[in-house]
Amino acid sequence: MRTPSLPLTLAPRRRPLVMGVVNVTPDSFSDGGEWFEPEAAIAHGRELLAAGADLIDVGGESTRPGAERPPVEEELRRVVPVVRALAAEGAAVSIDTMRASVAGAALEAGAALVNDVSGGLADGEMAALVAQAGIPFIVMHWRGHSTDMQSRAVYEDVVVDVCRELAERVEALQESGVRREQIVLDPGFGFAKTAEHNWALLERLDAVAALGFPVLVGTSRKTFLGRLGRPDGADPSPPTERDLATAITSFHAAHNGAWAVRVHDVPSTIQALDVADALFRGDSKENA
């Protein structure tokens, strides 16, 4: 298996890494398939890097509520050329997939980490692949595929339940050979969660961090942000109008020790993290 072009560390950081999103799908909720063709996706990845992204997350399967899964051959066709091109240019590339075969092909093409929204639950071979590769593995809280996940948004206490289920998933992964130091946790904003659940989790990011693992926060352009300030019953704002709200959640994530934030619009989040640096780490006094 090819060694990633840029090894990553999961050690605590002064500020979160910025993971830029490249959706190589025709039906993404956030950009409507704007980067579906490989050439456009590669160009967009370069733009995100130029804007300051530390990582590029390449995905070929839409996980919007109700989305159907593409055939594995189609997912491979979408993502592998993009991963290969960006990794060859020195980018740290994450492969966003629930399939071990796609993850393996992406690692061969130069990906540096695996971002699995199912945390290894959707494919029984994923844990063994990640354990053998020894690369970082992002484990998201997940209760089922997009076609029916919102029917499973039932919790006694969403913060307690999500933390317990993540801890159980980590234990199972470790029993399958994945080392503790490989694991990053993602509370799964928007996946089998109502708006109220998302806000509760965002408020209590400290509880997720208390599990003792690096945390990825992925709120970017999610529908619950699009409902802010809208009348009851009104449609949410369009996804591309949610970047300011996303940047504010990135600020909050930085204040709560997140390892990385996954975003579609990099410049607004970079500015939010600069403000967090100035407020919480004294940069404003140094540069006054």
Average pLDDT (174-182) is 97
The amino acid occupying position 279 is: L
Which pLDDT does position 33 carry in this prediction? 58
Evaluate whether residue 3 is within a structural domain: no
Please identify which of the residues 143, 262, 281, 285 carries the catalytic annotation. 262
2 lies in some domain: no
The predicted structure's pLDDT at residue 14: 79
Instruction: Read off the CATH number of the domain in which 175 is found.
Output: 3.20.20.20
Tokens of 26: 């025709």
285 is catalytic: no
User: Residues 19, 65: contact at Cβ < 8 Å?
Assistant: no
Q: Name the average pLDDT for the chain.
A: 90
pLDDT tens for 67-122 read 788 999 999 999 999 999 999 999 999 999 999 999 999 999 999 999 999 999 99
Q: Is residue 131 part of a domain?
A: yes
Question: Which residue among the candidates 78, 204, 222, 242 is catalytic per the annotation?
Answer: 222
Q: Is residue 288 part of a domain?
A: no
Measured from the Cβ of residue 83, the count of other Cβ atoms closer than 10 Å reads: 30
Question: Of all helices (H) and strands (E), which one includes residue 94?
Answer: strand 93-96
- Note whether residue 126 is domain-resident: yes
Q: Is residue 5 part of a domain?
A: no
Counting the structural domains of the chain, the total is: 1
Residue 95 domain-assigned (yes or no) = yes
Look up 222 and say whether it is catalytic.
yes
Residue 188 in tokens: 């799964």
H-only helix segments in the chain: 38-50, 72-88, 100-108, 126-133, 158-175, 195-203, 205-209, 223-226, 243-255, 266-281, 283-286
Write out the residue range of the structural domain in which residue 183 sits.
17-228+236-279
Say which residues have a Cβ less than 8 Å from residue 123's Cβ, sequence separation at least 6.
98, 99, 100
Q: 4 lies in a domain? A: no
The Cα 218–Cα 215 span in angstroms is 10
Q: How confident is the model at residue 3 (pLDDT cuts 50, 70, 90)?
A: very low
pLDDT bucket at 29, cuts 50 / 70 / 90? low
Q: Write down the pTM of the prediction.
A: 0.91
